């Protein structure tokens, strides 16, 4: 007699460390073909079992597969799927019809990094707070509101809660558009209010101490100088960490003895690799020429041929990792007297340097102009500056030099 399913192992190729996960192939009750495949982790979600530890035992995997069959959770009505399964499929970058359509209509509108982030967040923080095995058509706005309340009571950050809400709102909106549900539940799901006062922004004094200590404790031409270069660049340009990692020599133009321009064209993350910026638009920022000269000199030491200025000896294909930059930043904070406990209490991260730049430049040139420099609104510029555009950029650079003094000369 044919079994109703088979359990097998599969190695995750995208994992940093090789790990074997259990998958199940179910036999269709009508055709008796093995035509339905599911990971054992997806099966656990359908059963309402959430755990951060993967199933390692084959016997446990067999028991879970049998339980899912017995509860009719495998071959269910596709028109009214289990909500958790629907949400997870919706944010599965490689299989989602929604993501495929959006990226076909507007290329790069949904990145793999974004989809993976929402999927992980809703799996960990959102779905466990909903009733087990609730169907798509059974979901009500008050249940999502209850998830929000429970996450607030657990002390989760506004950012995390809003990610959970977005991860549920988009699938519900699409289900309503397609007629799978009759109520527009998504429009009733409101984000929690972000408290900007909690954004950790280091003071100008702390920033100056960080830079001076980094400058004095590292040597020109040595690899650990990369910590000083990346942090100084973030402070003086407001570039995102991914944009700094993606930087290439052709993006930098030395304009005058004191001024350089950087065309921010790309970002970098481990899923999408080299990609467009978050705003999907290029922008131009000014930077200290002395800093950019040293960055270009540092980039010449990259023997991998991958083109990244901030390279790493541990990879021929990728730039310096986000973790490495964060580690350099933590050491810089400690040098300025900001301990790990103080960093956590003040909610300071590498991204805080972008907030610092935004605050200082808004005071110097106005919020609208600062927003354009940060890439939050369109700034129509090309690689070939017109006289008017170049003049405007030089005026902005003059304001930057006054607002964010940078007095470290390039070593010849």
* 160-201: pLDDT as tens digits: 999 999 999 999 999 999 888 888 999 999 998 865 445 688
Domains in the chain: ranges and CATH: 1-75 (no CATH), 77-194 (1.10.150.130), 204-403 (1.10.443.10)
pLDDT of residue 18: 52
Q: Rounded to whole angstroms, what are the CA distances from 282 to 15, 267, 291?
A: 31, 10, 21
pLDDT digits (tens, 9 = 90+) for 28-63: 776 778 877 888 888 888 788 877 788 889 999 999
pLDDT of residue 175: 92
pLDDT of residue 54: 84
What are the b/e assignments for 192-205, b being 16+ CB within 10 Å? Answer: beeeeeebbbbeee
pLDDT of residue 377: 55
pLDDT of residue 21: 83
Q: Across all residues in the chain, what is the average pLDDT?
A: 87
* pTM greater than the 0.75 cutoff: no
pLDDT of residue 159: 86
- Residue 343: pLDDT band by 50, 70, 90 thresholds? very high
Is residue 381 over pLDDT 80? no
More confident of the two residues 207 and 385: 207
Is residue 383 over pLDDT 80? no
pLDDT of residue 250: 96
Q: Tell me the torsion sign for CA atoms 390, 392, 398, 402.
A: negative
Place of tokens 């967040």: 121
């Amino acid at each position: 007699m044919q079994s109703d399913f088979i359990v097998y192992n599969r190695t995750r190729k995208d994992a940093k460390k090789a790990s074997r996960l259990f998958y199940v192939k179910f036999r269709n009750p009508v055709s008796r073909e093995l035509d339905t495949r599911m990971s054992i982790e997806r099966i656990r979600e359908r059963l309402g079992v959430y755990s951060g530890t993967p199933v390692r035992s084959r016997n446990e995997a067999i028991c879970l597969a049998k339980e899912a069959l017995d509860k009719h959770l495998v071959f269910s009505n596709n028109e009214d799927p289990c909500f958790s399964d629907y949400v997870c499929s919706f944010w599965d970058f490689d299989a989602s019809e929604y993501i495929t359509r959006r990226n076909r209509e507007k290329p790069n509108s949904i990145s793999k990094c974004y989809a993976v982030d929402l999927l992980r967040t809703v799996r960990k923080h959102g779905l466990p707070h909903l009733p087990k095995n609730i169907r798509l058509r059974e979901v009500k706005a008050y249940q999502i509101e209850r998830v929000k309340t429970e996450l607030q009571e657990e002390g989760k950050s506004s950012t995390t809660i809003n990610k959970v809400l977005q991860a549920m709102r988009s699938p519900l909106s699409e289900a309503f558009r397609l007629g799978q549900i009759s109520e527009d539940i998504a429009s009733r799901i409101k984000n929690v209010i972000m408290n900007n006062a909690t954004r950790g922004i280091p003071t100008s004094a702390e920033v100056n101490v960080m830079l001076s200590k980094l400058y004095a404790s590292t040597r020109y031409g040595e690899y650990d100088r990369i910590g000083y270069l990346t942090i100084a660049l973030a402070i003086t340009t407001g570039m995102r960490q991914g944009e700094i990692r993606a930087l290439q020599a052709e993006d930098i133009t030395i304009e005058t003895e004191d001024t350089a321009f950087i065309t921010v064209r790309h970002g970098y993350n481990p899923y999408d690799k080299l990609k467009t910026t978050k705003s999907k638009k290029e922008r131009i920022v000014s930077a200290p020429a002395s800093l950019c000269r040293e960055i270009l000199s540092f980039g010449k030491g990259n023997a991998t041929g991958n083109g990244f200025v901030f390279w790493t000896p541990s990879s021929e294909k990728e730039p310096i990792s986000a973790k490495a930059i964060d580690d350099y930043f933590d050491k810089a904070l400690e040098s300025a007297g900001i301990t790990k406990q103080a960093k956590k209490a003040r909610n300071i991260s590498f991204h805080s340097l972008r907030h610092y730049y935004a605050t200082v430049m808004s005071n110097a040139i106005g919020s609208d102009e600062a927003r354009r420099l940060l890439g939050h609104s369109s700034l129509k510029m090309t690689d070939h500056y017109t006289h008017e555009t170049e003049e405007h950029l030089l005026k902005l650079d003059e304001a930057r030099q006054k607002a964010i003094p940078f007095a470290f000369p390039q070593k010849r």
